[in-house]
Structure 1
Amino acid sequence: MQDNNVAAAVVESSTPLQIIRTYADVATVKDNTIQLNETDGAEFLNSSVEFAGTGNVLFIEDGAKLRNTRLRFLGNNAVIHIRKSPRFIRLVASVFEDSVLYLGPGASFTSEARFLPTERKHVIIGADAMFSSRVTFRTADPHLIYAVGSHRRVNPSASIWVGDHVWLGEDTLLLKGARVGSGSILAARALITKPIPSNSTAAGVPGRIVGTGVFWTRPSVHAYTQAQTDRSGFEAKDDFIYSRDGFVLEIDKLEAELEQASDGPGRAAWCHRLDELTAKNRFFIA
């Protein structure tokens, strides 16, 4: 995920770089707001947080287990908000000015997922996400593109939203404007740029819908015995089937509320409000 633009942002920042490598380092960081506590069950192993700006907010829920994680604030008034999981959290993220990275509770990672929220756009991930290897998110193209006839920009940046209980396959790439409904599956090497309905499977480059009316569960079949395979032929529960009801959130409205925040603490407060919106069908997409 490192590119020339990211490296340049570190070099050009006028604010001295502040780095957290242990829980004890938190107290040394100035002009940024941090919750990163050494609580029961928490881990912060082979991980770091870098601040090349001020007014940023880092929220790591008590009990979160961070491993091989590198978080970087490359600007001011950005937010990284990470909920805890019984599993290890593994992220590499560079978050730029006024942008938000929100990771809901219960996520799992096969290897480090990579996030690049930039140009005041955001990456919002719901609960119980399952990340396979080398999943990447980018809210912007690295450079500007213009139409020859009008000289107007044709590649505006856009936020990425992923609902609850989404399986992100190996080498999946989610680009600006991607929206994924709860319960969906993104196949290996899928390139996602548009909305994916809930309980669907998307595959290919660019990603397209290849299956609908499906749901998935977490048990891995790799070491299954014959008896386990036989029992897996039917799943009676409908916990991961999503539908429209009165609790579906309007993503455009939510993002408009986030855009009204003028600083890091205001964006952090928005993240905490999203924590409280826990209805099953909140991220249903038709």
Structure 2
Amino acid sequence: MSSDQLLSLIQSTAPLVWNIFESEDENTAVASYIISQIMLLYTDGGRGGINLEPLQEYIEVTNVETVGLSINNPKARVFVGKNCSFQKVSISGSNEAYIFIGRDSFMANCDIACHSKKNVLVFGFNCRIEGLFVHIYGKFGFCVTAPGVTVQSGSNFCIQENSYIIIGSDSMLSTQVFIRTSDSHGIYDLETRGRINHARPVILHPHVWISRAVTINKGAEVGAHTIVGQGSVVQGRLIEHSVYAGAPIEMVRSGVTWDRRCAENIEENHDYLNNHFLSTFKKNSEQRFFSDPYESYTFLASYSLALAGRPSNLLRNTTTGTEGERLLLVQLSALRAAFLERGLVARSRLAKSKPNNPPTKPRLAVLMMQRDEASLLVPWIQYYGNQFGLENLYVWDNGSKESSVLNTLYEYEKLGLNVDYSAQSGVDFRRKGVILGKKIQELELSGNYDFFIPVDCDEFLAMEMSPGHVSVNKDDILDHLGEFANEVAPLGISAAYNNVLWRLNEFVRVYHRKTLFRSGTFKIMDHGYHVGETKCSAEKVQTNLTYLHFHYKSYDLMLSHSLNKLRPYLDVDNAENLKNAAESNRLAAFIVEGEDAYRARFMRQDALLIDDMACRLRQIGVENSKALWAVSAD
């Protein structure tokens, strides 16, 4: 399950828990437990699966009943599964809290303190937790630890301000691991007087290995099967199946997984994926595996995840697997009906937990710097805004003077466009690769995006299905980007389609170098986004993406635009200076050669007609699309 789906699920279920708490319903513990277990389903992709045990199999315990467990909070309700054992475990605080400890778990030398109202703490079955300090300060804060998680001594979880920590199944945390969802103290902007450092949740996906003395800061998300080296400081999003280390943290390697067993116990030619997952599948399918729908589903999901998202033909083609999937759907339907009958889960929310949801599309951030692009700014915003959402567009204004441009920015900013007015000089324009690069690194920390697309105002991202066949369908673009979900090298675009003026729907296909980046990999890029490096590679992996490049404008617009662009660096009123600059600068060349030579550029025989492109752009939302070819609207 992707991180945005997980967050969506938690955001939709957590308020339901809180509402039940506020109602003081006597079934609060039952409801919060079931909802927490549904959350566990979505954090689990490991080997154990989820065992949704009935609450009656848990015992609500007190100090008198449980050896090794000291409950010093009179308002805490603690539910313990079968075969659990405790040594010097203290539960403190003075406010109501709900704590669930799954069967076959072991806890020793732990201190759990719920300092605010209505906190939830869940440990899945078969966890081994030693020397852990959990402190929850914010109202409604919660911590969910999925089955099979191990935590060694000296680790500390600090949850504040209505945030949460989620740790996926079969994850392994070494000693002295610190996880914090907040900075603990406020930081304020002097100009706005607003606070700028609110708490953010921490999510560790299944089968994560966190080494000794690692600090995991607020807002961090660690992908499944990823390893974090000792002493690292984790922030932002770490991609799945990778190794990270350092402070600041950097990717060391990708395309890996790990084995919990000690190294001396691993045979030399051990094939972890095939031997472990396949043997577990065969053993459990013969016994009780498919009797538990949650366990069945999460195992199948984990196998697919372990193969880095590639579908498992082996499972798909086995009779047992097919029958198991059929039975799984039947049992899921029955379980869903039981939940609905209890009225504990809303139908629309429960629908999100179906295992057959289609994969989510990649999330894109598009970044662009412009100055007085009067003819292109509105079409650019309309195109990318309708394709990917205004809130995902980041525009820097580089000192525009034209009122139409500034008004456009102001109006679209009210609708959600992100506009930055801090880069106003010519020096800033020459540093736009650095400026946009810093924003990419900032957005990587948010975990809200999968890919970053730096573009110019005349570049409209599209998909080249084959040379001469170009699609502007959003799904074609996103589906193709999804193929690079695990790529750590910079992604390249090698061709663009330049518009041919005064000839509607005609383009010339040209060589055109551009670079884009998958989240978590960015290192550096040049001024024009032609060359870029990631933390792992400087060599591009080419995509089939392209640009509709509306590079050419009518002569009057081109002349005005070129003079405007050159004026900060060149005395454009000096003919000799312009002539010298024209040898290496295309804008100066346009000015020097004159209108007739400029028009002659477009009397080409090699132009490609791309049927109805103007119409397709208009359908996307580009209102006056014909103007992009300098053709008058009807």
TM-score by length of 1: 0.70
1:78 aligned to which of 119, 125, 134: 119
After superposition, what is the alpha-carbon deviation per residue over 1:48-107, rounded to whole angstroms, capped at 9, x for unaligned?
1113212x1111113211111111111110111111226455421011221001111101
Tell me if structure 2 keeps the 8 A contact 1:163–1:181: yes
Partners of 2:173 and 2:64 in 1: how far apart? 25
1:190 maps to 2:228: no
Say which of 171, 178, 189 aligns to 1:129: 171
Show the counterpart of 2:109.
68
Which SS does the other structure have where 1:218 is aligned? Answer: coil
Q: Deviations over 1:7-47 (max 9, x none)?
A: xxxxxxxxxxxx9597277899644332035x33x111021
Q: Which residue in the other structure is 1:144 paired with?
A: 186
Letter in 1 for 2:120: V
1:230 paired with 2:268, answer: yes
Q: Counterpart of 1:173?
A: 215
Q: What whole-Å deviation, never above 9, does each CA across 1:234-280 have from its counterpart, x for those lacking one? A: 545275344288xxxxxxxxxxxxxxxxxxxx9xxxxxx9xx8899x
The 3 A distance-change label for structure 1 pair 103 and 278 is farther
Find the residue that maps to 1:46 and give its secondary structure: strand
CA drift at 1:229: 5.9
Gaps of 5+ in 2: 1-61, 278-302, 312-343, 345-349, 360-449, 451-484, 486-634
CA contact (8 A) 1:20 1:49 kept: no
Q: Cα–Cα, structure 1 residues 242 and 51, in superposed 2: closer, same or farther, change >3 Å? A: farther
Relative to structure 1, the CA distance from residue 20 to residue 124 in structure 2 (aligned partners, 3 Å threshold; closer, same or farther) is farther
Q: 1:119 to 1:277 in 2, by over 3 A?
A: farther
Evaluate the alpha carbon distance shift between residue 20 and residue 50 of structure 1 in structure 2; reply closer, same or farther with a 3 A threshold: farther
- Could you tell me which runs of 5 or more consecutive residues in structure 1 were left unpaired when the two chains were aligned: 1-18, 246-265, 267-272
Following TM superposition, the consecutive aligned residue runs of length 4 or more in structure 1 with deviations greater than 3 angstroms are 19-22, 24-32, 86-90, 228-232, 238-242, 276-279
Please tell me the root mean square deviation across aligned C-alpha atoms, in Å.
3.4
Structure with the larger helix share = 2
2:259 is aligned, of 200, 203, 217, to: 217
For 1:83-122, what aligned pairs fall within 5 Å after superposition? Answer: 83-85=124-126, 87-96=128-137, 97-122=139-164
For the residue of structure 1 that corresponds to 2:268, the secondary structure is helix
The offset of 1:181, in angstroms, is 1.0
Higher relative contact order (CA 8 A, sep 6+): 1
Q: Is contact 1:182–1:242 with CA below 8 Å preserved after alignment?
A: no
Deviation, 1:206, is 2.0
Deviates more, 1:114-123 or 1:25-34: 25-34
Aligned to 2:77: 33
1:108 deviation in Å? 1.8
User: Which residue does the alignment assign to 1:45?
Assistant: 87
The sequence identity of aligned pairs, in percent, is 21
- Using the TM superposition, name which of 189-198 and 20-29 deviates more: 20-29
Instruction: Pick the structure with greater CA Rg.
Output: 2
1:137 match: secondary structure:
strand
Q: Distance in 2 between matches of 1:21 and 1:187?
A: 42
Partners in 1 of 2:100 and 2:354 — Cα distance? 18
Q: Structure 1 pair 22/90, CA: closer, same or farther in 2 (3 Å)?
A: farther
Residue of structure 1 equivalent to 2:247: 205
CA shift at 1:120, angstroms? 0.5
Query: Could you say if the C-alpha distance between residues 277 and 36 of structure 1 is closer, same or farther in structure 2, counting changes exceeding 3 Å?
Result: farther
1:23 aligns with 2:66: yes
Is structure 2 residue 196 aligned with structure 1 residue 154?
A: yes
Q: Please, which of 309, 317, 320 is the counterpart of residue 243 of structure 1? A: 309
Cα gap change, 1:241/1:62 in structure 2, threshold over 3 Å: closer, same or farther?
same
Q: Distance in 1 between matches of 2:106 and 2:354?
A: 23
2:102/2:126 contact within 8 Å kept: no
Residue 133 of structure 1 and its aligned partner are, at CA, apart by 1.2
- The aligned amino acid for 1:130 is M
Distance 1:194 1:162, change over 3 A: same
**Closer, same or farther: CA 277–184 of 1 in aligned 2, 3 Å:** farther
Alignment partners' CA distance in 2, 1:213 and 1:177: 24
Separation of aligned partners in 2, 1:198 and 1:241: 11
Structure 2: distance between partners of 1:105 and 1:236: 20
After superposition, what is the alpha-carbon deviation per residue over 1:97-128, rounded to whole angstroms, capped at 9, x for unaligned?
Answer: 21001111101233242100111000011100
